[in-house]
Amino acid sequence: MALRLSRVLPLAVALGALVLAATPGCESKMEPQACDKIRGDAFALLNKAHHCGSDADCRQSEWPGCQKPINQKNFDTIKPMAEEYKKGKCAEPKIDCVAPPESYCKQGLCVHREKGRNENDPKPGEGDTIKME
């Protein structure tokens, strides 16, 4: 009897392991409220002033929403939040974004480098330029 049990037991354990491996696992989908909290916290950080010492301190954000100028420290803080959001299989809303201008450090803050217009342009749009007298 002991001989039979010693042969059957390893077979039963192996069969059980095979069944568990073949069984589909539960999805680890995060609750929508938890997703919203992570995204909200990331937006709160993104919408603060981003201090810098030089242009090298500034870069474009990658998440959440459209790209904004952000400093490297806050970029590194938001990155794990984005990974947790994606790992939790949170639904990413569809947002239409335009390509932003480059970011740089201006007077200690990361900003976008907006293109200016020449005031002598023959057809400037209304309100595009202010003529200094």
Domain boundaries, the chain: 32-112
Q: What is the mean pLDDT of residues 35-59?
A: 94
Q: What is the mean pLDDT of residues 97-109?
A: 92
pLDDT at 15: 46
In this structure, are residues 111 and 102 in contact, taking their beta carbons and an 8 Å threshold? no
Name, of 29-33, 57-61, 117-121, 129-133, the range with top average pLDDT: 57-61
pLDDT at 26: 53
In this structure, are residues 26 and 87 in contact, taking their beta carbons and an 8 Å threshold? no
Q: What is the mean pLDDT of residues 73-96?
A: 92
SS3 call for 28: coil
Helix axes 32-46, 72-87, angle to 10 degrees: 170
